[in-house]
Every structure is written in structure tokens, then in C-alpha cells.
């Protein structure tokens, strides 16, 4: 996972740990200067999170619907308490 993304090693490890756990924050905020790869990192994380592969180590599998990047968009509620911020 995240093999196509160079750099961001600390952020990638954080996201890998989140995927391995069953309990995750309901929101993540990717922030930083323009052009640093925030969107790419967020999309790869979303694909892995929504992947239907039975083995978590194989996510994203590249076969199920998450491979297309058409992850369901969800509106976030204002006043969230348990979100995380990831600086890229």
C-alpha cells in the first residue's frame, strides 16, 4: 500500500496503523502546502479503507469497486471531536 507515493513515510505509517485497527476516527484532515501530495495520499487511503478484500494486507486490492476511486462522498458534521489532522 502507498508504493506509488514517494516520501511522506511518517504519514503513510500512521495511515497503515489506522487501517490495521478496527476503531478509526470518523474524520481525517490532510493539510499542508499546495502540491505536496495530500490528495493522492487521501485517495489511496480511501481506496484501502473501502476495499472489500478479505485480507487487510492486500488492500487496496485493485479489483473491487474502490479501485476506480469513486469512493462514496460523505458530508462531515460540524463540531467533530475525534478527527485527526495529518500534515503533509
37 CB-contact burial (10 Å; exposed 0-12 / middle 13-18 / buried 19+):
middle
pTM of the model as a whole: 0.66
Cα separations in angstroms, 9 against 39, 41, 59, 75, 80? 16, 11, 18, 28, 27
CA–CA separation, 64 and 47 (whole Å): 10
pLDDT in tens for each of the 88 residues of the chain? 787 888 889 988 999 888 888 778 889 999 999 998 899 999 988 888 888 877 767 677 777 765 554 444 443 344 445 556 666 6
Q: What is the pLDDT of residue 22?
A: 74
* Predicted local distance difference test score (pLDDT) of residue 72: 43
Amino acid at each position: 500500500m502507498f508504493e506509488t507515493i514517494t516520501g511522506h513515510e511518517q504519514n503513510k505509517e500512521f495511515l497503515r496503523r489506522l487501517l490495521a485497527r478496527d476503531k478509526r476516527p470518523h474524520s481525517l484532515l490532510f493539510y499542508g502546502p499546495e502540491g505536496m501530495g495530500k490528495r493522492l495520499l487521501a485517495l489511496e487511503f480511501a481506496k484501502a479503507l473501502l476495499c472489500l478484500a478479505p485480507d487487510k494486507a492486500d488492500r487496496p486490492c485493485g479489483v473491487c469497486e474502490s479501485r476506480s476511486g469513486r469512493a462514496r462522498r460523505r458530508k462531515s458534521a460540524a463540531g467533530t471531536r475525534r478527527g485527526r489532522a495529518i500534515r503533509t
